[in-house]
């Protein structure tokens, strides 16, 4: 399976951001990607807190319809990153996953909202449900950015049978070392593939790290998209997860 991480620079123009994202998805699919992953809150930019309310929409809604159509058009599994979801009076940071027929396979409302130097925790509502879903790409778990700092969430995904974890993110450049530490650690301690797509560029004066990665069950990076609006590509085999767990049975040795 070929995986593509699409690294976008979110700008103050949601329509242009959508057009750019769709173009990049199509290019990744044309290059052979079977699974494509987008960053966190790419339609508006994570740090554009004052734009959250206006950008929020229902799920399903206009953005998910557009993303589903692209997945169907190219017969790819598409993690559409996260968007701002409006459900009644509540706003959520919601990730969306589509199957190769364009069907919405799963949604995940970010559980751990960022409070440090951020307004996310005051403007949005936290999700409460772990997301693990059976797909034709294996059993997939969804998490978002700040979730990476909370290992219990990832262990619960493994207990649910997850072999591949997709992370959508808007990780700042000033904490880039933590990005690489956590993406590798979450992969190796849970013996899973981890695919993490991050925003790049600058929004509201905050520089985003980029460096989207694919990490294998041994904690070895398969690709790094570097900085700038680039797409990372990596070939992975989900069968390596079971091989790793059998050859080095750390998960079987747990004592609860």
Distances (CA, A) of 25 to 49, 69, 192: 26, 11, 24
Q: Which of 40, 85, 120, 163 is catalytic?
A: 40
Residues 6+ apart with CB under 8 A from 256: none
Q: Which of 85, 120, 145, 163 is catalytic?
A: 145
Q: Which of 85, 110, 131, 163 is catalytic?
A: 110
Q: 149: closest CA among 120, 202, 111, 122?
A: 111
Active site residue 145: yes
Q: Both ends of the chain: CA-CA distance in Å?
A: 34
Instruction: Report the distance separating Cα 161 and Cα 145, nearest Å.
Output: 21
Active site residue 11: no
Instruction: Report the distance separating Cα 228 and Cα 225, nearest Å.
Output: 8
List active site positions: 40, 110, 145
């Amino acid at each position: 399976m070929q995986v593509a991480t699409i690294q976008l620079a979110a700008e103050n123009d949601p329509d242009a951001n959508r057009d750019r994202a769709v173009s990049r998805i199509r290019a990744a699919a044309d290059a052979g990607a079977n699974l494509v992953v987008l960053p966190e809150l790419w339609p508006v930019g994570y740090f554009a807190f004052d734009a959250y309310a206006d950008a929020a929409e229902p799920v399903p809604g206009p953005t998910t319809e557009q993303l589903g159509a692209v997945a169907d058009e190219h017969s790819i599994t598409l993690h559409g990153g996260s968007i701002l979801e409006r459900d009644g009076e509540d706003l959520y940071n919601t990730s969306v996953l589509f199957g190769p027929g364009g069907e919405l396979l799963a949604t995940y409302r970010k559980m751990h909202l960022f409070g440090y130097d951020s307004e996310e925790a005051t403007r949005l509502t936290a999700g409460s449900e772990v997301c693990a879903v059976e797909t034709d790409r294996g059993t997939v778990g969804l998490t978002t950015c700040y979730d990476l700092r909370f290992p219990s969430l990832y262990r619960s995904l493994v207990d649910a049978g997850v072999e591949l974890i997709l992370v959508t993110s808007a990780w700042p450049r000033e904490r880039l070392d933590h990005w690489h530490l956590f993406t590798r650690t979450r992969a190796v301690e849970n013996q899973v593939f981890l695919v993490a797509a991050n925003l790049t560029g600058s929004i509201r004066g905050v520089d985003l790290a980029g460096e989207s990665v694919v990490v294998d069950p041994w904690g070895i990076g398969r690709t790094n998209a570097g900085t700038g609006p680039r797409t990372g590509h990596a070939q992975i085999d989900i069968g390596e997860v079971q091989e790793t767990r059998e050859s080095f049975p750390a998960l079987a040795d747990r004592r609860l």
